[in-house]
Amino acid sequence: MPRAPRIELPLADWPEEDRKRWRIANRSGADSFDDCGPAAHLAERSRRALQGSYGRFLGFVSAERRVLLGRDPDGRIDREIIAEYVTWRRRACGDSAIAIDLHHLRLALRYICPATDWSWLLTIIKRLGAQAPRRPKRYHLVTSEQLYALGIEIMDGAVSRTNDTTDVALACALEYRDGLIIALLALLPLRRRTLAALRIGKHLMKSGLLWWLDIPEDDNKTRQQLEYPVSREVSERIDLYLARFRPRITGATGHDGVWASNQGRPMDHGTIYDMVRRRTREAFGFPVNLHRFRSAAGTLWSIHDPGNVRGVKDLLGHSSFDTTEAHYITAQSRLAGRALAHVIGKLSGT
């Protein structure tokens, strides 16, 4: 079966009425007394996701039902059109991705057509998501302890191939950097864009013997200021990274990005994502993406300290514990049993 064409109408090509309503919804007030649009609070990334999903739907309409572009947004969408759109999208992606796309489409429609009841579309989205094939659960078998141990192991391997009398090899410098990223993420599971944005002296700062992460609200998805103390062991490893390994990476002295790349600039979030997946695949036999570090942290906390589990919300930088509970605390019996056995073994000295 031929794949569906990748069509997404850019905002400039939307029908005039759609474009007007979207801009009104996203209008920012000039000052505190000015009215803002209902979508003005959205983070830029969220706004792009909603705009992209609506643009893809308009791309489908333009390709398959062009006559509908002449209608107002309110009268363009019904169950029949959504059914056709889902069939069209299935030529390019699976039902899980389509359900996410429809979710973003529904949110965009709530801003573009606020007077319309879109609850029927939510029902379709839930049904589609429930019917989608589930991914294998292999990624849940990795814990924060394992991820932390992997980071330490990678750093120790780089150090073992370096001595005080020779220059640090570039490969060792990159290896140490990668291990430090993984160990730090196991302790403080930052979102990947926040991780990539870290700057020495701005976000990464030292107080006494310890390093701290200070994340201003502008660099955090939930617009909350976050402060994290770094453990003594990892603080010492940051010292070593900054003193010996980071300067060896090409162009590192020309910028203040914490995670220097061999391209003379800081690593971007996509490069960090790919590196972590590669390193974890080599170690565990399957890749662990950055999102799973957050899931592992929430699960570990819920197992070891259930009485204070609401603290996970602050660790992950969520604005609501509902988000934490719904998406990150997944203490399966197998994982819980292994972790509990580990803790009991340590307490009993066996």
Same domain, 92 and 150: no
- Provide the domain limits for residue 239: 139-348
Domain boundary among 76, 97, 131: 131
Same domain, 206 and 74: no
pLDDT tier at 298, thresholds 50, 70, 90 = low
Please report the pLDDT score of residue 318 as a whole number.
37
Give the count of domains, the chain.
2
Same domain, 226 and 154: yes
Does any domain span residue 244? yes
- The per-residue pLDDT for range 47-92, each reduced to its tens digit, is 888 999 999 999 999 999 999 999 999 899 999 999 999 999 998 8
Which residue did the predictor score with more confidence, 213 or 140?
213
pLDDT tier at 331, thresholds 50, 70, 90 = very low
- The per-residue pLDDT for range 173-182, each reduced to its tens digit, is 999 999 999 9
Task: Please list the residues that pair with 199 across neighbouring strands.
Answer: 257
Does any domain span residue 2? no
Domain boundary among 98, 114, 131: 131
Q: Is the pLDDT of residue 45 over 70?
A: yes
Q: Is the pLDDT of residue 291 over 90?
A: no
Q: Is the pLDDT of residue 190 over 50?
A: yes
- The per-residue pLDDT for range 89-110, each reduced to its tens digit, is 998 888 888 999 999 999 999 9
Domain boundary among 99, 131, 163: 131
